[in-house]
């Protein structure tokens, strides 16, 4: 199956700009995947998950035997590239460091719940209003 990229034409005069319909998001792993040749791959991209992506692991025998394996199967389906590796499969995800898996799980949640983890808050000191991403993963008080 071949992936297509979609580009938006600039809006005509008087038209509003259409929101960015991105379906792939780039990331950089904290440690990186080390392949059989010792090459470290840190940059990659992940696509938005579909309903099929979320349902398919439920019938996977590896997941039925070990429910913790669900995230490995799910991540392998939505990671489209990892450095020069374009065929990302469960065997590659299995070999990643735990730090990178945790990063990818958080990235998956943020990408697939875009706009749903924002909370409006008011600063108690200055009274200013702003939004905070609750799925940001940072410590309180950091932006």
Query: In the prediction, which pLDDT does 116 show?
Result: 56
pLDDT of the chain along its 143 residues, tens only? 444 444 444 455 555 555 557 789 999 999 999 999 999 999 999 999 999 999 999 999 999 999 999 999 999 999 999 999 989 999 999 999 999 999 999 999 999 986 555 567 788 888 888 776 555 544 444 44
User: For residue 121, is it within any domain?
Assistant: no
CA 35 to chain centre: 21
User: For residue 142, is it within any domain?
Assistant: no
Sign of CA dihedral 45, 46, 47, 53: positive
Q: Whole domain around residue 72: which residue ranges?
A: 24-113
CA-to-CA distance for 97 and 111, rounded, in angstroms?
A: 21
User: For residue 43, is it within any domain?
Assistant: yes
User: For residue 64, is it within any domain?
Assistant: yes
DSSP string of 11-48, one letter each residue: PPTTPPPPPP---EEEEEEEEEEE-TTS-EEEEEEEEP
Pairing of strands 79-82, 40-47: antiparallel
User: For residue 97, is it within any domain?
Assistant: yes
- The number of folded domains in the chain is 1
User: For residue 99, is it within any domain?
Assistant: yes
């Amino acid at each position: 199956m071949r992936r297509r990229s979609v580009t938006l034409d600039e809006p005509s005069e008087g038209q509003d700009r259409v929101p960015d319909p991105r379906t792939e998001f780039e990331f950089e792993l904290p440690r990186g995947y080390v392949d059989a040749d010792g090459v470290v791959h840190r940059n990659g991209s992940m696509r938005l998950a579909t309903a099929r992506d979320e349902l398919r692991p439920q019938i996977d025998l590896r997941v039925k035997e070990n429910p913790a394996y669900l995230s490995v199967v799910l991540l392998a389906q939505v990671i489209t590239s990892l450095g020069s590796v374009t065929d990302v499969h469960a065997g590659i995800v299995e070999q990643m460091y735990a730090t990178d898996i945790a990063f990818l799980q958080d990235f998956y949640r943020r990408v697939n719940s875009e706009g749903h983890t924002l909370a409006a808050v008011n600063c108690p000191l200055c009274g200013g209003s702003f939004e905070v991403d609750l799925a940001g993963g940072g410590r309180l008080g950091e932006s």
